[in-house]
A and B are shown apart, each in its own frame.
Chain A
Amino acid sequence: MRGRTAVVGVGETEYYKRGQAPDAEFKLALDAIVKACADAGINPKDVDGFASYSNDRSDPSHLAAALGCKELRFANMQWGGGGGGGSGAVANAAAAIHAGLADTVVVFRALAQGQFGRFGQGPRRNTIGGEMAYTVPYGLMSPAQMFAMKVVRFMHDHGVEQAALRAISLACYEHAQHNPRAVMYGRPLDAEKYDASRWIVEPFHLYDCCMENDGAAAMVLVSAERAKDFDHKPCYVLGAVAGSHYRAGASVHNTPDYATSTFKTLAPRLYDMAGVRPADVDVLQSYENFTGGVLMSIVEHGFCAPEECNEFFVKERFVAPGGDLPLNTSGGNLAECYMHGLGLNIEAVRQIRGASTSQVADAEVSMVISGPMVTPVSSCIFGSEATL
């Protein structure tokens, strides 16, 4: 599948604070898809496939009907919650095109939390059965609470200090100050402000946690043969994988390998498929549900050893253009927008195009890590034509 497909169009709605989108979620999805098609220079009626993740509510058949698509040939949902499917949806779209199931596939994600519920709050039911009954009555019920326990154990095992998490947050906010689309544009963060911010759940300060936002994002994928005929520089899919390790889904925190971002088995497969090594990666977008997930994702994708985290995770390394591993150059989920991570994939495409607000010089290999600590997770590597 390496280099056989490419992203030729990207589109985003305006990004809003949660609950503040003026439009219905489905309209946001349509808006992002129409913009992505316009960016690609194609008619939305020629889209013949849709791929999404995390139980997106915008049904492909309804989208195809609303857009007047001539034919629907691929309607795909990557199972699993959180943003774990962001790059998995890219993998599914690329695989479908490569296999001949469809020609023009849109990967999309839309969220309107005013119209629907919030992520970051506990259930409001009176009784609860099954897996959640083992955690909710003990006050463990939000995503931050589900994941903090993994990060505590990882930091304990490897002696990682809080400053490593802080470096991730500071880099994201730094990049958001250059990105007018970012929800946190004009709201800089420094170490003192981070340190003084309240705990959500240790080891996560407020600024270790993603925002919750409304909006939608979409990408158009076509075959590499067709990609050359589009307006923008093609952004080739070098590799994209999704999955998880042995019994990652064991309930009540019983996965045998616990303190992990879930990428240990996947990362080698990604590099094999893409034919690159960590040292080849020019720029990285790594999904921040919480900074601790970024920390473990970067370790498990081979950029540093667990014992090196305190030296490796410093802000300067992660800030474009001077850093040696520019990270979340749009501001990411912490400071640009939490579009369940699809904004990270779009930013990775912008880097290949040379169109980021924090552009890395000569970015040829652009990587995305999606939704750490859930299962399945996913990651992908995009490349310029020079990498083929």
Chain B
Amino acid sequence: MSDYYLNPGLAQPAATPLDEPYWQGLQEGVLRVQQCAACGGWQWGPEWICHHCLSDQVGFTEVEPRGVIYSYERVWHPVHPALAEQGPYIVVLVELPDAGNVRMVGNLLGDPEQNVPIGAPVEGVFEHHVDAEPAYSLLHWRLL
């Protein structure tokens, strides 16, 4: 057993030129979401231009890691060898009211067989994989 929500062995995220500030932010314990400097519009995942006003002046803005559960799923069948002994786990889709209601995917911490209330408020929990090479961080969620 590790201290991480999911057993180790899944592909680990690698930053790209488009999303480097996001992944760097998670390692620093902050959540950054793409926002347009021209019109203030939010978008996720990151794109090269703003889909609202088509400006290429898109940057990243720090927001509070809090949201509401928009949907979820409880996974039982492992589709990757790393999860063979995992048992059920919960993936949540979280809307961020502080960032134009963009949605992010994460895991819901706690009992994997818990009831998951759609619409419930959640807060982000950073999971730092400092032992990975290179190190990276994920953002999970827990019910408030």
Interface residues of A (CB under 8 A from B): 120-142, 144-145, 148-150, 152-153, 156, 198-202, 247, 250-254, 258-259
Q: Determine the distance from Cα of A252 to Cα of B46 in the docked complex, in whole angstroms.
A: 10
Q: Determine the distance from Cα of A140 to Cα of B103 in the docked complex, in whole angstroms.
A: 15
Interface residues of B (CB under 8 A from A): 6, 10-16, 18-19, 23, 43-45, 51, 70-77, 79-80, 83, 86, 88-89, 91, 93, 102-107, 118, 138, 140
Task: Give the nearest-CB partner of B134 in chain A.
Answer: A127
**Known A-B contacts A152-B73, A198-B77; A139 and B83 likewise in contact (beta carbons under 8 Å):** yes
**Known A-B contacts A127-B14, A133-B14, A141-B79; A149 and B43 likewise in contact (beta carbons under 8 Å):** no
Q: From residue B85, how far is it (CB to closest CB) to chain A in Å?
A: 13
Cβ 8 A contact of B93, one of A123, A199, A250, A253: A253
Q: From residue A385, how far is it (CB to closest CB) to chain B in Å?
A: 46
Determine whether the beta carbon of B118 is less than 8 Å from that of A156: yes
Could you give 16 example pairs across A and B, Cβ below 8 Å?
A121-B80, A124-B11, A127-B14, A128-B11, A137-B12, A138-B140, A140-B75, A150-B71, A152-B72, A152-B118, A201-B74, A201-B75, A251-B44, A252-B45, A252-B104, A258-B103
**Known A-B contacts A130-B16, A253-B93; A125 and B74 likewise in contact (beta carbons under 8 Å):** no
Task: Give the nearest-CB partner of B88 in chain A.
Answer: A199
Q: From residue A366, how far is it (CB to closest CB) to chain B in Å?
A: 34
Q: With a CB–CB cut-off of 8 A, which chain B residues contact A126?
A: 11-12
Q: Determine the distance from Cα of A135 to Cα of B80 in the docked complex, in whole angstroms.
A: 14
Q: With a CB–CB cut-off of 8 A, which chain A residues contact B140?
A: 138
Determine whether the beta carbon of B138 is less than 8 Å from that of A149: no
Determine whether the beta carbon of B45 is less than 8 Å from that of A254: yes
Q: With a CB–CB cut-off of 8 A, which chain A residues contact B83?
A: 139
Cβ 8 A contact of B6, one of A138, A252, A258: A138
